Chains A and B, each alone.
Chain A
Amino acid sequence: MPDLRDIVSVFRIHLARLRAEAGPFVLAALIFPTAMYLFANAIGGGAENTIRFLAGSIVFSLSLTAISWLGYLLLENRFTGRLKLFAVLPVAPSSYVFGILVFGIVQATLGSGALLIVARLLGARTQIGLLPLVVTILLTMLCLCGFSVIIATRARSFSEGSLLTDSLGAGLVFLAPVYYSPEVMPHTLRIVSEWLPTALAARSVQSAFAGSYATRDLAVLGAMAVISLSLGFRLMRFRED
């Protein structure tokens, strides 16, 4: 069973580390998504698309934070031997994963908040439903962090894992219709892409911007989070066979 004090300690260790390595986090959570938001607005602008692009950029930020950046941390801990520091302690593997998850969720909240401020400064106007937005961010992070844990536990090498997390972090966003309309996609790809967690998240964020819940999308996202995290917890072990 996870222990709250252990979860907080794992979180604090990674937070202390973040203070010294803020660069990658700012890149993942703010600079790339902001650049994409500006780029998408520049080429496909129009007030009707601005909200979709902002939702897409928030999902992009979540994806880069949860998969690329947290995945990197998990891989680094594993392949540099830092994971052993936790494995030799009376700490449950689930406490370690939860500690990292909390760290990721805090980053996601900071990143999303910063993006909203930037978008507002750039003229985007929304009527945010705070609770729907928080629920969406939480479920998206849980689902995507589950993917990170799975990759970090199964990768055979650091480079293999990094390649997978980088590809998935960006790929899940660009394969989902978050920066473009689904109608431009081939039919079969459209069916698949609409069920990607990033597509579900983008629709939920758009609903949150209108002050409402995308109930069906959130339910599917929640189910995906349960599956991916359950698998991640199952695979994260401190004892080898």
Chain B
Amino acid sequence: MKQPLVPEDGDAAVRVRALVKQYRDGNHANRGIDFDVRSGEIVSILGPNGAGKTTLLRQITTELRPTSGKVEIFDVNAVAFPRRAKAMMGITPQEAGVFETLTVRQHLELFARFKGLAKREARNSSAEIIHELDLDRETNKRVGDLSGGQRRRILIGLALLGNPPLLVLDEPTAGLDPVSRRAVWGVIRRRVTEGCAVLLSTHYIEEAERLSHRIGIISAGKMIGLGTLGELLSLLRKSYRLSYQDCGDQQQVRYFATFAQSQRYASERQIAEYSLARASLEDVYFALTGHPFEENENNDTPCLT
């Protein structure tokens, strides 16, 4: 297997170098992480639960002080100057509360003022974001009367206020239905075409595949893979994935370097029904982390031959 891709220096919206977070109990959440996010690109961070994704993002957003290492936001040292760094970021935390008695419009307009928007700008910007996030019908509803998914969209809306050049989104679409999720992807893509940089963590492998320019895979606090989908797939020497049901009705998965090898395997074992596909990000994820990907849905437990 190839080595994880080494980040390059240059103009970067986010530059993370040798980032270490060790808690007082001695546990390491991040162990020397290096990577960049450039303007106009989306970088998704994938990893098993407890791998250190949120810890990484919280250090970048200055919510958590790193033990050592460097975090720069558009060349501003985020550890030393957190407010200057945050002024360039729109952040959606993984878990945050909302002011339930405010209406959707009030919530966005009042928080827009913290981003330096004048009253009229705050009103216009909030109206645009409400429309973008498909919350028009909820504009004057109290936030407390909205569903969990709608509240999540408000949190994303708060990050979008003021058109920051960098968005840091911790599981932005968690809990959203597929339609809302795609609507949020659309919003993120539009921002990126305008030159915004996006760093997000996700539990949805499909989200990482479809949305990201580059994907980082974290395991046990280390960035063990980072690259475009194609670059990550090329880490797998065996890129053909054959899956079938064995005689005990168990799902089996085997990987092969060539199409011919997979055909030969199926024919030798007289497997009548099987599916054959090029390996996916999920397979790379498993190969790198040793964990099957879990996104609260049924998963195969593949084994590498």
Roughly how many angstroms separate A241 CA and B113 CA in the complex, as a whole number?
A: 28
Which of B62, B82, B97, B110 touches A16 (beta carbons < 8 Å)?
B110
Residues of B within 8 A of A12 (CB): 110, 113
Contacts of B116 in A (CB 8 A): 5
Look across to chain A and name the residue whose beta carbon is closest to the beta carbon of B88: A90
- B106 near A84 (CB under 8 angstroms)? no
Q: B114 — which chain A residues lie within 8 A by C-beta? A: 6, 9, 86, 89-91
Complex contacts, B113 vs chain A, CB 8 Å: 5, 8-9, 12
Verify A20–B101 contact, CB threshold 8 A: yes
Identify whether the interface residues of A are mostly helix, strand, loop, or mixed. helix
**Please, which residues of chain B bring their CB within 8 A of the CB of A85?**
96-98, 111, 158
Query: Number of residues in B with C-beta < 8 Å to the partner?
Result: 29
State A88–B89 Cα separation when bound (angstroms): 9
Distance in Å: Cβ of B288 to nearest Cβ of chain A:
29
Count of inter-chain pairs, beta carbons less than 8 A: 80
- Is B125 part of the contact surface with A, judged by Cβ < 8 Å? no
Which residues on the B side are within 8 Å of A77 (C-beta)? 97
Compute how far the CA of A85 lies from the CA of B98 in the bound complex, rounded to whole angstroms. 8
**Residue A195 interfacial (CB < 8 Å):** no
Minimum C-beta distance from A157 to chain B (A): 16
B63 is an interface residue with CB less than 8 A from chain A: yes
The answer to whether B63 touches A239, judged by C-beta atoms less than 8 angstroms apart, is yes
Would you call B115 and A89 a contact (CB within 8 A)? yes
Known interface pairs A89-B115, A239-B82; A81-B106 also in contact (CB < 8 Å) = no
B61 within 8 A of A: yes
Mark contacts of B53-72 with chain A using CB atoms, 8 A cut-off: 1 yes-contact digit, 0 otherwise: 00000000111110000000
Chain A, residue nearest B106 (CB): A16
B148 CB, min distance to chain A CBs, angstroms:
13
Q: Of all chain B residues, which has the CB nearest A81? A: B97
Chain B residue with Cβ nearest A21: B101
Check if B188 is an interface residue, CB within 8 A of chain A. Answer: no
Q: In the complex, which residues of chain B have a beta carbon less than 8 angstroms from the beta carbon of A89?
A: 86, 111, 114-115
The residues of B that contact A16 with a CB separation of less than 8 Å are 99, 101-102, 106, 110
Residues of B within 8 A of A6 (CB): 114
Cα(A5)–Cα(B63), bound, Å: 22
Give B19 Cβ to nearest chain A Cβ, in Å: 15
A92 to B83 Cα, complex, angstroms: 7
Contact check: which of B63, B82, B102, B158 meets A13 at CB < 8 Å? Answer: B102
CB within 8 Å of B: which of A25-58?
A: none
Number of chain A interface residues as a range: 20 to 34
A82 near B63 with CB under 8 A, answer no
B62 contact set on A, CB distance < 8 A? 238-239
- Residues of A with C-beta under 8 A to B276: none
Cα A238 to Cα B61 with chains together (Å): 11
B110 touches A13 (CB 8 A): yes
B103–chain A nearest beta-carbon distance, Å: 9
Known: A6-B114, A81-B96. A88 touches B65 (CB 8 A): no
A183 part of interface (Cβ distance < 8 Å): no
Q: Is the CB of B91 closer than 8 A to any CB of chain A?
A: yes
Q: Which of B63, B86, B99 has the most chain A CB atoms inside 10 A of its CB?
A: B99
Task: Name the distance in Å between B102's Cβ and chain A's nearest Cβ.
Answer: 6
**Given contacts A16-B106, A91-B114, are A82 and B61 in contact (CB under 8 A)?**
no
A127 contacts B by Cβ under 8 Å: no
Residue in contact with A90 in the complex, picked from B63, B87, B110, CB distance below 8 Å: B87
| In the bound complex, CA of A90 to CA of B114 (Å) | 7
Please tell me which one of the listed residues B63, B83, B106 contacts residue A240 in the complex, with CB atoms under 8 A apart: B63
Say yes or no: A82-B97 contact (C-beta < 8 A), given A9-B114, A88-B86.
yes
The residue that B98 contacts in the complex, of A19, A20, A82, A239, with Cβ under 8 A, is A82
For A19, give the chain B residue with the smallest CB separation.
B101
Contact B61 A88 (CB under 8 A): yes
* 23 contacting pairs across A/B (C-beta < 8 A): A9-B113, A12-B110, A12-B113, A13-B111, A16-B102, A16-B106, A17-B99, A17-B101, A17-B102, A21-B101, A77-B97, A82-B97, A82-B98, A82-B99, A84-B96, A86-B114, A89-B111, A90-B84, A90-B86, A90-B114, A92-B83, A239-B64, A240-B65
Top-6 shortest CB links A-B:
A81-B97, A20-B101, A80-B97, A88-B91, A90-B87, A82-B97
Which residues of B line the A interface, CB within 8 A? 61-65, 82-84, 86-87, 89, 91, 93, 95-99, 101-102, 106, 110-111, 113-116, 142, 158
> 14 new A-B pairs (CB below 8 Å) besides A16-B110, A238-B63?
A8-B113, A9-B113, A12-B110, A17-B101, A20-B101, A21-B101, A77-B97, A80-B97, A88-B63, A88-B86, A90-B86, A238-B62, A240-B65, A241-B65
